[in-house]
Amino acid sequence: MPCEAFEELLNGYSDLPTAERANVDAHLATCPGCREFFETLTALDQSLAALYSFAEPRRIFEPALVRRPSPIPEILDFAGWAAVAAIIIMLGMVAATRFGYMLPLSAGW
């Protein structure tokens, strides 16, 4: 286990100013617990870099896939479709109203 006072400094070792780094180095030379923790941190740093070393996606997005005259305006996703639905419902109601009166008559009821 590292000394509590040095834990944060060891964790951020690479960002330390030169003077502070020298203090940490002096402590590391005399403290096996901190040295072991620091070595683990260093190995961890390299291993994490290895674990996430695949920087690029394998599949590259091809803009041609979306080649159209222009992008679909976002409004069509929401209000546009709502308006279309509202028009259909209104037409349905008008038709139902008209046929509702006309059907019985035409059926002779």
Partner 1 sequence: MDDEIRAHLEHQRWHQAFDLVVKHYQTKVFHLAFSILGNREQAEDASQEILLRIWRALPSYRGASALSTWIFSIARNASLTALKRGTSRPTVSLEESGVQTRAVARAAPARSLATLEALVAELPEKQRQVIALFYMEEKSYEEVARLLDMPLGTVKTHLFRARKELALRWQKESANAVRSL
Kindly state whether residue 97 participates in binding partner 1, applying the rule CB under 8 A.
Answer: no
Number of residues lying near partner 1 (CB under 8 A): 37
In the complex, least distance from residue 4 CB atom to partner 1, rounded to whole angstroms: 11
- Residue 40 engages partner 1 in binding (rule: CB under 8 A): yes
Q: Quick one: three-class SS letters along 2-30? A: CCHHHHHHHHCHHHCCHHHHHHHHHHHHH
Rounded to a whole number of angstroms, the minimum distance from the CB of residue 3 to partner 1 is: 13
Nearer to partner 1 by Cβ, of 46 and 97: the residue is: 46
Among 19, 16, 58, 56, smallest CA distance to 38 is for 16
- Cα–Cα distance between 57 and 59 in angstroms, integer? 5
* Residues whose CB falls within 8 Å of the CB of residue 52, separated by 6 or more in sequence, listed in order: none
- Give residues in contact with partner 1 (CB under 8 A): 7-8, 11-12, 36-37, 40-41, 43-61, 63, 66-67, 70-75, 77
